[in-house]
Amino acid sequence: MRQHLVITAITAALTFSAASFAADPAAGKAAWNAEHAQTDGSPARSCATCHGQDLTQAGRHAKTGKVIEPMAPSVNLQRLTDPEKIEKWLARNCKWTFERECSTNEKADFISYIKTQ
């Protein structure tokens, strides 16, 4: 039963169909801009390193320079519409930025922040 609830919560977080969990856009915003020192000596990173601080603007991949379309659903209707894509990129980008995977709460905060943009 408990496991079932957790799975439901995760699914809700990833598809943001429910507002019943404590996702905090302000916490998401703070985490978005927080710089993280890298153990391999690379310059510190945050989500904004590639996506920028203004989510309505396009970003740029720090290494390849490839343009990243805006994250804000208000200007990019494709954002937050594909749960698999969201999961894939949260997994990759948390590892790249924080050198670890993000918790369910952290992911929910990011998504709730992006949603308000």
Partner 1 sequence: MNNSKRILSMIAIGLFSLGVVSVAFSDDDNDDDGRSRNHKNSGWVESRADIAPVTNATYGKECGSCHMAYQPGLLPATAWTQVMTPAALANHYGDDASLSDTIRNEINGYLSANAADHAAQTRAQAFAVAAAPNAQNQGNALPRITKTRYFMRKHDEIPARLVTGNPEVGSFSQCNQCHRGAADGVYNEHQVSIPGHGRWAD
Alpha-carbon Rg for the chain, nearest whole angstrom, is: 14
Quick one: tokens of 20?
Answer: 């019943």
> Based on CB atoms, which residue is closest to partner 1, 3 or 64?
64
5, 7, 89, 94 from 40: Cα distances, Å: 38, 35, 22, 16
Task: Tell me which H or E stretch contains 67.
Answer: strand 67-68
> Based on CB atoms, which residue is closest to partner 1, 23 or 50?
50
Quick one: tokens of 93?
Answer: 């980008």
- Mark 11-50 with x for binding to partner 1 (rule: CB under 8 A) and - for no binding: -------------------------------x--------
Tell me the closest approach of the beta carbon of residue 72 to partner 1, in angstroms: 18
Site for partner 1, rule CB under 8 A: 42, 61, 63-66, 88, 91-93, 95-96
